[in-house]
Chains A and B, each alone.
Chain A
Amino acid sequence: SQQGEEDPQALSIQEGENATMNCSYKTSINNLQWYRQNSGRGLVHLILIRSNEREKHSGRLRVTLDTSKKSSSLLITASRAADTASYFCATASGYSTLTFGKGTMLLVSP
């Protein structure tokens, strides 16, 4: 079942701009993960943030987590055309299954 809601559903920006995507969830979690999916392909794990962490960085990615608001954000800085993809947040409540949000389709134009 889905519990995450991402916004916006679609985002169109120019190369070099920053892209921010948000994710909200409903239940308590152990961690929250962000994934990227190119059209018709599998998912690539981008970053994981644990429930006791508030911010995490990985290259051009910055993820924040606010457990009091049950929300997370993914910031991609200095975007590139190759960043065009769908981005999903997923929450893990136990040590097994992931629950995915609906995703944000990001289009980065050259």
Chain B
Amino acid sequence: GAVVSQHPSRVICKSGTSVKIECRSLDFQATTMFWYRQFPKQSLMLMATSNEGSKATYEQGVEKDKFLINHASLTLSTLTVTSAHPEDSSFYICSARDGAGAGYGYTFGSGTRLTVV
């Protein structure tokens, strides 16, 4: 089946630094990828929709200058958390669809646990 690879799985960074998270579709092309954020024991909140070759679409309340998304190819989207602060500590998950139409599910990466100290 479809596989989405997400790296790194865990990252600890100092406050004020930037962190890049990669999301790759390994065996399919994904024109659209999605980035979610999940706080402990809570559900996934969509942050932005990443579109290959164009600007990402951000959800209301998500700072586009803080969470930079680049979708430069059909198999790679990156999320960069800029000037990270402790409140950015969270679990970030990407996903992609491996087909079009209402009958297709989504494949998720394994997530990235970001800790800002």
B-chain residues with CB within 8 Å of residue A88 when the two chains form the complex:
43-44
Chain B contact-residue range equals 20 to 34
A-chain residues with CB within 8 Å of residue B41 when the two chains form the complex:
105
Number of interface residues of A (CB under 8 A): 28
Query: For chain A residues 41-66, which have a beta carbon within 8 Å of chain B?
Result: 41-45, 48, 50-51
Tell me if A98 is interfacial: C-beta within 8 Å of chain B. yes
The closest CB in chain B to the CB of A101 belongs to B43
Choose among B42, B46, B101, B105 the residue that contacts A95 (Cβ–Cβ < 8 A). Answer: B101
The segment from B14-22, B68-76, B80-88, B109-117 found at the interface with A is B109-117
B-chain residues with CB within 8 Å of residue A101 when the two chains form the complex:
43
- Considering the chains assembled together, what is the distance between the CA atoms of A99 and B106 in angstroms? 12
- Considering the chains assembled together, what is the distance between the CA atoms of A41 and B111 in angstroms? 6
Residues of chain B whose beta carbon lies under 8 Å from any beta carbon of chain A = 6, 32, 34, 41-46, 49, 59-60, 91, 93, 95, 100-111, 113
Further 10 A-B residue pairs, CB within 8 A, beyond A40-B111, A42-B109, A43-B95: A1-B46, A2-B43, A31-B103, A33-B105, A42-B108, A88-B44, A95-B102, A102-B42, A103-B42, A105-B41
